[in-house]
Structure 1
Amino acid sequence: MRARSADSIPARVLGVALAGAGAAHFTAPRAFDGLTAKAFPRETRQWTYRNGATELLLGLAIVYRRTRVLGSVGLFAYTAWLGGQLARRR
């Protein structure tokens, strides 16, 4: 019988924080519209919600050990994509 490895508390904290930030996009979208507008000047509010949904899902994926690797890869790709969007608008 194999013993289960200890879960990563820092990874879970990161996941919960990211999921919380994603949920906040829906509860207080104005707080995110200014930053979102820099990368997405058109349809800013829709992009605020899309980014919130993405962060919520990636955060939840990172919280759970079984989906953590997928969530981490997704977070890396999402961060690179957002950085590219910001760089393109400058």
Structure 2
Amino acid sequence: MAEKKSSPGATLAGLSLVGAGLAHFVAPQLFESMTKPAFPRDTDRHIKTNGTIETALGVGLLIPKTRKLAAVGGLGYIAYLGVNAARNK
């Protein structure tokens, strides 16, 4: 089986997501104002959950073998955020 090659775009997206995900733990206050409308109850827990998901998706994008799965997971994550934002409007 041929080895999958790394793509500069996927690498940049992966590193960006990992950075954003880890930032949820380093500076959670930066995410409170955008997280609270979608997750008004237990916002701090959801900030950490979102940080974990974003970090995992970013790592998935960095690994060529898991890139497609991470992309599908990213679409699911966007849907999850959208549904919660709409539900708590």
TM-score normalised by the shorter chain: which range applies? over 0.9
Q: Size of the alignment, in residue pairs?
A: 89
Instruction: Name the % identity.
Output: 40
Q: Is the CA contact 2:25–2:48 (under 8 Å) kept in the aligned structure 1? A: yes
Moved over 4 A (4+): 2-5
Mark the runs of 5 or more structure 1 residues left unpaired by the alignment: none
Mark the runs of 5 or more structure 2 residues left unpaired by the alignment: none
What is the deviation of 1:6?
Answer: 3.6
What do you get for the CA RMSD once the two structures are aligned?
A: 1.3
- Deviation digits for residues 8-39 of structure 1, max 9, x if unmatched? 11011001101110000000000001111010
Of the two, which has the highest radius of gyration? 1
Query: When the two structures are superposed, what TM-score results if normalisation uses the length of structure 1?
Result: 0.92
Q: Which residue does 1:15 correspond to in 2?
A: 14
Query: When the two structures are superposed, what TM-score results if normalisation uses the length of structure 2?
Result: 0.93
Q: Which residue does 2:42 correspond to in 1?
A: 43
